[in-house]
Amino acid sequence: MFQKILIANRGEIACRVAQTARRLGVRTVAVYSEADAQAAHVGACDEAVPIGGLAAKDSYLQWQRILDAAKATGAQAVHPGYGFLSENEDFARACAAAGLVFIGPPPEAIAAMGSKAAAKALMAEAGVPLVPGYHGSNNDPQFLLGQAEAIGFPVLIKASAGGGGRGMRRVDRAEDFVAALASCQREAAASFGNDHVLVERYVTRPRHIEIQVFADTQGQCVYLFERDCSVQRRHQKVLEEAPAPGLSAERRAEMGAAAVAAAQAVGYVGAGTVEFIVEGDEDGDIRPAAGPSQGGAAPSGGSGSVGAHRFYFMEMNTRLQVEHPVTEAITGLDLVEWQLRVAAGQPLPRRQDELRIHGHAIEARICAENPDAGFLPATGTLQVLHWPAHVAFQRGGDALTPAPVRVDAGVRQGDAISPHYDSMVAKLIVWGEDRAQALARLDAALRDTHIVGLATNVAFLRRVVGSRAFATADLDTALIERERPALFGHAGLPLEVAAAGVVAHQLHREQALEGTDPWSRRDGWRLHGGARRRIDLALGGEHHGFMLARLHDGALRLGLGEQHWPLSWRALGEDRYEVLLAGQRHMLAVHAAGETLAVFGEHGSLELSEYDPIAHAADQAGGGGSLTAPMPGKVVALLVQAGATVTAGQPLAVMEAMKMEHTLHAPRDGVVGELLYAVGDQVSEGAALLTLAGE
C-alpha cells in the first residue's frame, strides 16, 4: 500500500478520498486554488499545496503543477476524484512518466471510452447491446439526416466527446434535424473542442441504469450491481438509488455480464461505471436489446421481444462516480479502499460470488440552484448549514449495517459557494432495510436539512421524493417533467406560519435573556390589562405589519390586517418549536443568519427579516432600468441590439455559469438602450448587462 497520495480534486470527493486514506494509514496531500485556501478538503488532508488561480483551468486542471506538488511532497500516487482530470488520458500518461501511480484505469482504457462514438464501435465488437444508431466518422449533415430517417424519429444527436449532459439534442422531425445538428456541433466545439457527433434512436420512457464494475491488474473483473439514476434534470442526475426497483436477478446478472464484457474489452483496471439506457414499458422485466442495430453495431443475442424492456450501452465513465455511496451502502464495501488496493497492485478484495446486496440506498444531490428558475445555479455564503443526525463515511473492510443517514460534504457553515466550480454542495445518502424505509428516511433527512444564504434544491428534492411517481418507483428520465405541477412553483411556508415561528423564537430568546415572562414588563406594550406589540417583518423587501396580542388569560393572538389567529408555542430545544396557529400544529426550526430569520417548516421555508423602512425607501429610489446578471458568469450570446423594442419575457441574453447556460429574459416591455458587455465578457453578479428604457 502507498504511504502517501496526492488528491487532485476539491470539495466532497477530495474529503471522501482523504477519509479512507486516513483509515488505511495513508498520508494525504491536498492541492488547492486561491479560492480554496480555507476549504474543507485542505483541512481534511495532512499536507496542502497551492496550485494557482480561482478558475479550474488555472488550478485544478494545471497538471504540471499537480505533478510538481506530488514530487515535492513525496506522494507516490494521484487520486483524480471525478470531473477535472479524472478522465484525461494525457494526465494519466504524465503521471506514469513522472513515476507516479494514477489511481484509475490505464490511459488506453480512458482513451478507448473517451469518445462515445469510438467506444460504441468497440462495444459492438464485444457483443454489448447498443442503441440503434450511427456512430461512424461521416458527419455530413445530409448523410446524418439520412441516417436519422432510417433510424426513425425521435432521434438524439450526441457530442462524441460530450459529458455532464451537454451537447445533446433530441430531434422529433426531419425538418428540424439540420438546425439541431448545427447547434449541437457548436456547443460541442465550444465545450469539448471537438464537434464530432453521433446519432441514435431516442429511447422512449428511458431509465438510466448503470453497473459499477471493478477490475484488478491480475485480470479479475467483477460488478458491484447497479444504480438507477433515472431521475434527472437537463440530462443530469438528481436522485440515484440501488438496487434498481423492479430489476430481476436474471436481468441484473445479464447487465452485469455485459458491463464486465465492456470493461474487459478495453483492458480495464480500477473502478468504472458502464451506463445503460433501458427502454421503458408498461410493466415487465428488463431485457437485453435484440435485432441488428444500424451503423455496423452487432448487438448481443437476447430474448427481447417487441415492447419488452431492453437495455443498451450508453457510455462508460472511467472513474469513481458521484453516486458511488449508494453502492457502498448496499454492499458494505469502501470503493475508495478498493481503488487504492487495486492501484497498489493488490487483487480485488472479493470474488463475484462473495458480493451481496443488502437493503436499499438512495442518494440526493444537494445543489446550490433555483429549481423554479430553470435550475439556475446560485452562489453565496452558507450562512446556515444544518444537517440531520448523520455520520460521515467511516466503514471498515467488512459489511456492517450501514448508517441510516450519511452526509458527504466538502463545505462547512460559513463557506462560500463560488461560481468557479460546480454547484453540488453535498450528498445526502440514506439506507434502509427496503426501499420504503430508505424513502421515509430520505424524506425526514431532507426535511431536517436547512441551508440559509443561497438558493438550494432541498425543498424541491423533497417534493420529488414525495411524488407519486417516485414513491411508486414509476421511474424514467422524464419523471421531473411529468410531475411538473407537483414539483415547481410552490409557495414555501405560509407567511403567517413563518411569522408565528419568528414570534416563538423571539419570545423564547427574551425569556432566556430576562429569565422572566417578557409580558410581565411594565412598558408601552401593555394595553387594557392585556398587551399588544407590533412585529414588522420584511419578506423579499416587502413590509408585513403583524400585531401580536396577549389576552387577559395569557392566550396569544397573531394578527395581520383584518385576520387574526390564536397562537401558542413550545420550545423543543435547539431552535426548534412546536407552534399551534389557528388550531393547526406546525413543527418549525428557526435559524438566525445576520439580520435574517429563516423559518423551516414541514413543507418549505421562508426568510424573514425585521422591516427597515429607511432601507426600503432607498431600494425603491435606486431601481434603474437594466437587465442584470443574476450570477457571475460569462456572456455567451446577446440576442438583441441597441434600439430594439422588446416585450416582457423575451430572451435578451445568454450567460454561462457553473457549466450551464442560462437565458435571461426582459423583466418588462421596453426599448434596449446600451449593450454594456460583449459576447465572451466575464461579468459579476448584479452587473447591468444592458439598459432598458420604458416605452
Q: Kindly compute the dihedral angle of the four CA atoms of residues 201, 164, 177, 155, in this order, to the nearest 10 degrees.
A: 10
For residue 376, the partner it binds in Mg ion, ligand ADP, none, with Cβ less than 5 to 8 A by kind, is none
Among 39, 171, 262, 277, binds ligand ADP (CB under 6 A): 277
Q: State which of residues 21, 45, 203, 242 lies at the interface with ligand ADP (CB under 6 A).
A: 203
Q: What is the C-alpha to C-alpha distance for residues 582 and 307, in angstroms, rounded to an integer?
A: 54
Dihedral class, residue 652 (left if φ above 0, else alpha if ψ from -120 to 50, else beta)? alpha
Question: To the nearest whole angstrom, how small is the minimum distance from the Cβ of residue 618 to ligand ADP?
Answer: 39
d(CA 51, CA 229): 34
Contact letters for ligand ADP, residues 475-494 (x by CB under 6 A): --x-----------------
Q: Which of 212, 213, 217 is nearest to 343 (CA)?
A: 217
Is 252 assigned a catalytic role? no
How many residues lie near ligand ADP (CB under 6 A)?
Answer: 29
Site membership for ligand ADP, residue 387 (CB under 6 A): no
Residue whose Cβ sits closest to ligand ADP: 164
Q: Does 449 bind ligand ADP (CB under 6 A)?
A: no
Query: DSSP string of 103-163?
Result: SSS-HHHHHHHHSHHHHHHHHHHTT--B-SEE-SS---HHHHHHHHHHH-SSEEEEETT--
Contact indicator for 46, 28 with CB cutoff of 8 Å: yes
Whichever of 275 and 476 has its CB closer to Mg ion, that residue is 275
CA distance linking residue 80 with residue 76, whole number of Å: 13
Q: Supply the minimum distance, in Å, between the C-beta of residue 113 and Mg ion.
A: 11
Which residue has cell 498520508?
Answer: 27
Beta strands in 561-659 (DSSP E): 563-573, 576-581, 584-593, 596-601, 604-610, 626-628, 633-638, 645-646, 651-657
Give whichever of 60 and 546 is closer to ligand ADP, judged by the CB atom. 60
CB 435 within 8 A of CB 245: yes
Contact between 208 and ligand ADP by CB under 6 A: the answer reads yes
CB of 600 to Mg ion, least distance (A): 34
SS3 label, residue 577: strand
Query: What is the SS3 assignment for 202?
Result: coil
One of 27, 169, 233, 319 is an active-site residue; which one? 319
Residue type, 110: I
In the shown chain, the binding pattern of residues 150 to 169 toward ligand ADP, with x for contact by CB under 6 A and - for none, equals ------x-x---xxxx--x-
Contacts of ligand ADP in 55-84 (CB under 6 A)? 82-83
One-letter amino acid of 365? R
Segment interacting with ligand ADP (CB under 6 A) among 241-249, 311-319, 561-569, 668-676: 311-319
* SS3 state at 548: strand
| Binding partner at 83 among Mg ion, ligand ADP, none, C-beta below 5 to 8 Å by kind | ligand ADP
* 314 interacts with ligand ADP by CB under 6 A: yes
Please state, in angstroms and as integers, the Cα–Cα distance from residue 197 to each residue in 68, 160, 255, following that order.
36, 5, 26
Residue 306 buriedness (CB in 10 A; 0-12 / 13-18 / 19+): exposed
98/473 with CB nearer ligand ADP: 473
Residue 323 binding ligand ADP, by CB under 6 A:
yes
608 sits near ligand ADP (criterion: CB under 6 A): no
CA 311 to chain CA centroid, nearest Å = 25
Instruction: Look at residue 241 and give the partner it binds from Mg ion, ligand ADP, none, a contact being a CB closer than 5 to 8 Å depending on partner kind.
Output: none
Q: Which residues touch 263 (CB under 8 Å, ≥6 apart)?
A: 213, 215, 221, 272, 274, 316
Between residues 206 and 630, which has the closer beta carbon with respect to Mg ion? 206
Residues 261-280: x where in contact with Mg ion by CB under 5 A, - otherwise, as a string: --------------x-----
Check if the beta carbon of residue 574 is closer than 8 Å to that of residue 561. Answer: no
Strand 450-452, strand 168-171: pairing: unpaired
Binding of ligand ADP by 228 (CB under 6 A): no
| Among the listed residues 202, 223, 313, 677, the single contact to ligand ADP using CB under 6 A | 202
Q: Whose Cβ is closer to ligand ADP: residue 168's or residue 257's?
A: 168
Binding flag, residue 466, ligand ADP (CB under 6 A): no
Nearer of residues 216 and 275 to Mg ion, judged by Cβ: 275
Residue 55 or 168 having the CB closest to ligand ADP:
168
Beta carbon of residue 589, minimum distance to Mg ion (angstroms, whole number): 37
CB of 581 to ligand ADP, least distance (A): 41
Residue 668, classed as helix, strand or coil, is coil
Cα 646 to Cα 419: distance, rounded to the nearest angstrom: 29
Grid coordinates representing 663?
Answer: 437565458
Q: Where on the chain is the footprint of Mg ion (CB under 5 A)? A: 275
- In the complex, the residues that contact ligand ADP under the rule CB under 6 A are 82-83, 131, 156, 158, 162-165, 168, 200, 202-203, 206, 208, 232, 235-237, 275, 277, 314-315, 317, 321-323, 422, 477
Catalytic residues: 319
